[in-house]
Amino acid sequence: MLPEADSYSALVRDFRWQVPARYNIGVDVCDRWAVREPERIALTFVGPDDATRDYSYGELRTWSNRLANLLRKLGVGRGDRVAVLLPQAPETAVGHIAIYKLGAIAVPLFALFGPEALQYRLANSGAKAVITNRGGAAKLAEIRASLPHLEHVLCVDGAAPGCWELSAALETQVADFTPVDTAANDPALIIYTSGTTGQPKGTLHAHRVLLGHLPGVEMSHDLLPQPGDKIWTPADWAWIGGLLDVLMPALHHGVPVVARRFEKFTGEAAFQLIQDFGIRNAFLPPTALKIMRGVPEPEERWRLAMRSIASGGETLGAELIEWGRRVFGLTINEFYGQTECNMIVSSCARLMPARPGIMGRAVPGHHLGIVDAAGAVVSEGTLGNIAVRQPDPVMFLEYWRNPEATAAKFAGEWLLTGDTGTMDGEGWIKFVGRDDDVITSAGYRIGPGEIEDCLLGHPAVRLAGVVGKPDEERTEIIKAYVVLQEGHTPSDELARDIQAYVKKRLAAHEYPREIEFVSELPMTTTGKIIRRALRAR
């Protein structure tokens, strides 16, 4: 979707949205390619036993058509919600494609969710069917009595009590299916927010959301697609970052996707996968990068030939940027967005130099502003709400059955992200933090990201989370929760050394006055530190 350009200004100048009135995600990412190049490889699946199998677009079309026919036979129709409770797997992609082609609404759910998390989301969405595996079916069995709307559970890996055995059921279905004619603005999926504050909200997106993602995905991957591109992410496809930043855009562009879910993510396993499968592009959340950064001399141990790495979810800093250049020979591109309005800011090393601590500029097609609570644009360099002007193809339709929360998300013509930042005269946007993450200390407003990044530069620190702790004198003091690297032992002396390290590298008012050593940090299933939980301590 992005035009060819040799500069950011040219990219913005020549960009035009291409959103047709009638559009269906499933047809776009599958049938369009299956008609032209049915043997083209869409997915490479690496199983738990490391067995590998390629799947073509033709196979995805046949499989998704059979599934769409089965769902229709079971009474699922246009607008009905169908949950997909699976890890990265071919069935996950096929499930989404079939649901979209049927005109139903997909509800992606993390395979690691427990019964309570599933019960809330399935009840809130009113899901009529769930596509899952035996592990998911066992969880659903505990809560099914409390889900009157849930009529069918389809199990992808064999028989389970009270479930359809999907492979056997599909054999009875024909391979032809006429996709429902959907408008670009018709509902397509509900993705639940990560729940860092309050109960998760169901974010309802239209079919156009995929087209809205394309410019940001292309920009963050140094103008994807390029010859030889092949992409992978450790992010679960139930998260918007895995589904709409990687899987669906790659299928749209005909870029092969490597699917591999590690039981336990390790840096060594990630590097091995990148080497063994010739992965050229990756979306690596900051937490994954930090774990990989702990592996000694990876550039000497593995043959790496990557073209692009994109990262988002937490701010990157100089430490990770420099590490990426040394290990991969490229500059990691940072991007920004949220479930409600994603991939709206990005850096792009191919077109402009990286600025550590600055997340990027507005992706072409998205109008960004820094505004106050009333929606008035603030002056250059002033801290305010990062906001997006409506209408926008990537913007959500509403919070599912929650008009009050939907209305509260907007101020006039602006969608308020709930994140604070600043913008300079050239449009570079600095992320400071979520409204409730900003620390106010002795008159200073301090974002935790920069301090966390600095802490990671200390050789003893593996992970760090920073929050404000109430203080009568200063309003708040900065407190850091630190996970140490192997071989280091908590001590008062080490805490003082870490404090001096930050004070020297940032500022006297930005060093953590308290450090607590912990064995792990609370994180969402998408790998973000839950600072709310740290503050609660």
For 141, the 3-state DSSP assignment is: helix
Distance between CA atoms of 318 and 388, rounded to whole angstroms? 27
Contact 352, 368 (CB under 8 A): no
Q: Per residue in 349-386, pLDDT tens?
A: 999 998 988 999 999 999 999 999 999 999 999 999 99
What is the pLDDT confidence band of residue 194, given thresholds at 50, 70 and 90? low
pLDDT of 252 over the 50 cut: yes
pLDDT at 526: 66
89 DSSP assignment:
S
Distance between CA atoms of 112 and 497, rounded to whole angstroms? 38
Please give the tally of structural domains in the chain.
2
Distance between CA atoms of 299 and 275, rounded to whole angstroms? 11
Task: Find the helix packing angle between 267-276 and 286-293, rounded to 10°.
Answer: 100
Domain assignment of residue 203, yes or no: yes
What is the pLDDT confidence band of residue 525, given thresholds at 50, 70 and 90? low
| CA-based radius of gyration for the chain | 23
pLDDT at 216: 98
pLDDT of 493 over the 50 cut: yes
Contact 492, 500 (CB under 8 A): no
519 vs 381, 464, 481, 482, 488, CA distance in Å? 38, 11, 9, 8, 12
* The residue count for the chain: 537
Give the residue from 164, 188, 207 where a domain finishes. 207
pLDDT at 230: 98
One DSSP character per residue, 501-523 reads HHHHHS-GGGS-SEEEE-S---B
Contact 182, 23 (CB under 8 A): yes
278 vs 272, 281, 303, CA distance in Å? 10, 9, 9
Contact 378, 370 (CB under 8 A): yes
Domain range spanning residue 522?
Answer: 436-536
Distance between CA atoms of 461 and 455, rounded to whole angstroms? 7
Three-state secondary structure string covering 224-278: CCCCCCCEECCCCCCCHHHHHHHHHHHHHHCCCEEECCCCCCCHHHHHHHHHHCC
Domain assignment of residue 1, yes or no: no
Contact 474, 445 (CB under 8 A): no
Calculate mean pLDDT across residues 408-421: 95
Calculate mean pLDDT across residues 497-504: 93
- For residue 262, the tally of other CB atoms under 10 A from its CB is 14
**Phi/psi at 309 (nearest 5 deg)?**
-135, 130
Distance of CA 141 to the CA centre of its chain: 29
**508 or 533: which leads in pLDDT:** 533
Side-chain-side CA neighbours of residue 475 (13 Å): 10
Could you report how far apart the first and last alpha carbons of the chain are, in Å?
47
62-71, 220-229, 288-297, 325-334, range with the lowest pLDDT: 288-297
Closest CA to 279 of 270, 290, 267: 270
pLDDT at 470: 92
Distance between CA atoms of 97 and 108, rounded to whole angstroms? 12
Closest CA to 222 of 330, 325, 317: 330
Percentage of residues in the chain having pLDDT higher than 90: 82
Domain assignment of residue 339, yes or no: no
Calculate mean pLDDT across residues 170-182: 98
CATH classification at residue 201: 3.40.50.980
Domain assignment of residue 483, yes or no: yes
Q: Tokens standing for 98?
A: 């079939």
Distance between CA atoms of 304 and 403, rounded to whole angstroms? 48
Q: Per residue in 416-474, pLDDT tens?
A: 998 999 999 999 999 887 767 878 787 676 878 879 988 999 999 999 999 999 987 78
103-112, 251-260, 499-508, range with the lowest pLDDT: 499-508
CATH classification at residue 524: 3.30.300.30
**Phi/psi at 418 (nearest 5 deg)?**
85, 0
Beta bridge partners of 414: 389, 411
Calculate mean pLDDT across residues 203-208: 98
Distance of CA 426 to the CA centre of its chain: 27
**523 or 128: which leads in pLDDT:** 128
Q: Tokens standing for 33?
A: 């390619």
pLDDT at 357: 84
Domain assignment of residue 90, yes or no: yes
Amino acid at 193: T
pLDDT of 196 over the 50 cut: no
Give the residue from 178, 207, 236 where a domain finishes. 207
pLDDT at 403: 96
Domain assignment of residue 240, yes or no: no
Distance between CA atoms of 458 and 233, rounded to whole angstroms? 27
pLDDT at 35: 98
Give the residue from 156, 183, 207 where a domain finishes. 207
Q: Per residue in 332-350, pLDDT tens?
A: 999 999 999 999 999 999 9
Domain assignment of residue 376, yes or no: no
Domain assignment of residue 407, yes or no: no
pLDDT at 116: 82
